[in-house]
Amino acid sequence: MSLRNLKEWTIIAKEAFNGSFFVAKALCFLHVTNTYVLSVVSLYGPSMLPIFNITGDLALAERISHKFGKVGAGDIVLVTSPLEPRKIVTKRIIGVEGDSVTYVVDPNNSDRTQTIVVPKGHIWVEGDNIYSSKDSRNFGAVPYGLLQGKMFWKIWPPKDFGSLGKKSKITE
């Protein structure tokens, strides 16, 4: 191998290393952004009808405000499921610590209600579709530590593009 070939291979190796390093930095940036700042979330299932369709909705969730206690009744949040810890679920906050929450025990009999006071350090979450939602009515109040993020913008389908602002479940 001549000196000229060795120099060419050195240049090629440096370019490959620089390109790989750039890709690695970009992937690290995406990972940190997705984990700690902002996520695109794919939503499916009937528990949040009519806000989210059964299949294929996409929304943005920010992962900062809940760490500073900036969530409240009416917010749609991502929560680690207390029943299936590997699963993240989307629910609406009905009450925060100290709130008195009255909920329907049996969706088929709206006369059966129960009232609880949300314990300190917990939130009460429910799906908008009470007929098909596993939520705090099934597993109780959820610790703040299981909060993963707050939904704020629907991006798919295009006809529903826009803010998910804070809404009360009662007014929907």
Residue pLDDT, tens place only, 17-58: 888 888 999 999 999 988 888 998 888 888 898 888 888 899
Confidence check: pLDDT of 142 > 60: yes
Q: Which of 67, 70, 91, 110 is catalytic?
A: 91
105 pLDDT tier (thresholds 50, 70, 90): confident
- For the question of residue 150 being annotated catalytic, the response is no
Q: Specify the 3-state DSSP secondary structure of 128.
A: coil
Amino acid 166: pLDDT? 67
Helix, strand, coil: what percent of the chain each, to 5?
A: 30, 35, 35
Q: Which of 39, 47, 133, 136 is catalytic?
A: 47
- For the question of residue 91 being annotated catalytic, the response is yes
How would CATH label the architecture of 39-171? Ribbon (2.10)
Region 83-99: mean pLDDT is 93
Confidence check: pLDDT of 94 > 50: yes
18-22: long-range contacts (C-beta < 8 A, 24 or more apart)? none
Q: Are strands 88-96 and 76-80 parallel, antiparallel or unpaired?
A: antiparallel
Amino acid 171: pLDDT? 42
Region 64-86: mean pLDDT is 90
pLDDT higher at 68 or 148: 148
Residues 110-141 pLDDT 10s:
778 889 999 999 999 999 988 888 999 989 99
Region 66-73: mean pLDDT is 85
